[in-house]
Amino acid sequence: MEHDLLNDSDYIELIEDEQENEQNILSQKLSELTTKTSEEVQVTTSVEKKRHASSTTSPSVYPKRIKMIGSNDDEDDATFEIDMKKDQTPYYLSLNNTLFLRTSKDILKNVQTITINDIQQIASLKHQIGALKIKIDQTNIYLKAVTGTLTEPESDLIDVDRRVWPMQVQSMMSSKSESNSVTTTESNHEKTQRDCENLLHQRLQETSQQIQGFEQELTEKKQTFFEFTSTMNDAIQKYVQDYSIKPMELTHHFKKAIVSYDYEAEILERQYLKEKSNVDISTQLLKMRRNVEKSRRDLLELKQRVFFNKSSISFNSLDVSSSTSNTVEISAQLLKMRRNVEKSRRDLLELKQRVFFNKSSISFNSLDVSSSTSNTVSMRNDKPPRQLFNKYEKELQWKN
């Protein structure tokens, strides 16, 4: 009876404080998410700026890595490690959280041998196991990025080194070394690459061992309670899943997307830098080929000019070339023919002049004859002028 009265009073207090506590929890989670989002945006912006500066100043032959931010703290590790410390309990599993108290009392109805502290321990173990599984998934993503297998190449024509170190991995590696300087020799780089892969494999192994330890402890804890049922286990699992695992998974998916986008951006940047050199070489080759074609055209034009100039010179210097022993006779004949042609031209010109002057004299004589017919009759019967006129007329007809 006293136990029932205590439960009734607890329920009354829970109902009164439920709305206020839920609002406090929601406001706290909202502020945490807002803070994380702003920090992640700042981190992403700083990473992009540093990556752009490094790619434009001194592109490296070796696989480039995403530049580290100023702090060496790994946000993922910090979140998981704080949640998994045994001496600290998450707020949603605290006895000061009325929502957890209400859920625990609902689970423990008609149960005498199990207390709220036992429910808290079981829920804490489930929380740690869930957080470690997310950590393993995140570490696998880092390992795939480091080994270059995060995404499969889709028939890329440009072959580049696909190994990329996310900033969280560089933060872990810098914490293991004394200096943040990265050597540029190939041997040191390969050694650092192997050390990084070994560190991630070691982290996966340690996390798997921790999960096995927590699962074994959880199994032993359940076995000590005779009244613990599968319904109680499902209720605890649902509470932990709703108020812890799902928010962590959302954060994990967000960070996974950032790592994937940074990985793809880095691969594209490497392909661009490699293709840029090929473009420069192609431009130079195209320019050289253009110059060669231009030189060929100039040479062809020069040959044609030389050919035509030689032809005209050879024709004009026929007399000079005819002095050879084999063409003396031909040259003499050509010279004789040329002289005959020149003589014929002169005769023709002289004949044309004579015809012209004869026409003029005949016209003049005919004019005199016609003018004298009206005054003198004796000249009509005069035979010598008439005969002379007929003679010139016949000669003119023969020449025409």
pTM for this entry: 0.51
Residue, of 206 and 270, whose pLDDT is higher: 206
Is a pLDDT exceeding 50 seen at residue 242?
A: yes
DSSP state of 82: H
Residue 85: the pLDDT is: 53
What share of the chain in percent tops pLDDT 70? 60
Is a pLDDT exceeding 60 seen at residue 276?
A: yes
pLDDT, tens digit, 9 for 90 and up, residues 77-87: 444 443 445 45
The whole-angstrom separation of Cα 343 and Cα 311 is 27
Q: Where are the alpha helices (DSSP H) in 58-162?
A: 75-84, 98-107, 116-147
- Helices 246-316, 2-57: axis angle to 10 degrees equals 20
The CB-based long-range contact list for 333-337 (8 Å cut-off, 24+ gap) reads none
The CB-based long-range contact list for 346-353 (8 Å cut-off, 24+ gap) reads 351/399
Q: Which residue has the tokens 């995403």?
A: 66
Residue 128: the pLDDT is: 93
pLDDT, tens digit, 9 for 90 and up, residues 193-219: 888 888 899 999 999 999 999 999 999
Q: CA separation (Å) from 345 to 182, 340, 350, 352, 398?
A: 99, 8, 9, 11, 20
Residue 102: the pLDDT is: 92
Average pLDDT, the chain: 71
The whole-angstrom separation of Cα 138 and Cα 77 is 10
Residue 58: the pLDDT is: 34
pLDDT tier for residue 300 given thresholds of 50, 70 and 90: confident
Residue 341: the pLDDT is: 86
pLDDT, tens digit, 9 for 90 and up, residues 307-348: 777 554 445 555 545 455 556 788 888 888 888 888 888 888
| Contact present, 222 and 126 (Cβ < 8 Å) | no
pLDDT, tens digit, 9 for 90 and up, residues 17-45: 554 555 555 555 555 555 544 444 444 44
Residue, of 289 and 183, whose pLDDT is higher: 289
Instruction: Point out the least confidently predicted range of 162-171, 249-258, 352-361, 368-377.
Output: 368-377
pLDDT tier for residue 74 given thresholds of 50, 70 and 90: very low
Is a pLDDT exceeding 90 seen at residue 239?
A: yes
Q: What residues have CB less than 8 Å from 302, skipping those under 6 apart?
A: none
pLDDT (average), residues 260-276? 85
Instruction: Point out the least confidently predicted range of 123-127, 128-132, 359-363.
Output: 359-363
pLDDT tier for residue 258 given thresholds of 50, 70 and 90: very high
Is a pLDDT exceeding 90 seen at residue 366?
A: no
Residue, of 390 and 109, whose pLDDT is higher: 109
Q: Which of 345, 325, 126, 160 is nearest to 245 (CA)?
A: 126
Is a pLDDT exceeding 80 seen at residue 59?
A: no
Please provide the size of the chain in residues: 400
Phi/psi-derived region of residue 155, left when phi > 0, alpha when psi is between -120 and 50, beta in every other case: left
Q: What residues have CB less than 8 Å from 399, skipping those under 6 apart?
A: 351, 354, 355, 358
Residue 187: the pLDDT is: 66
pLDDT (average), residues 248-271? 90
Q: What residues have CB less than 8 Å from 65, skipping those under 6 apart?
A: 164, 165, 170, 182
| Contact present, 63 and 161 (Cβ < 8 Å) | yes
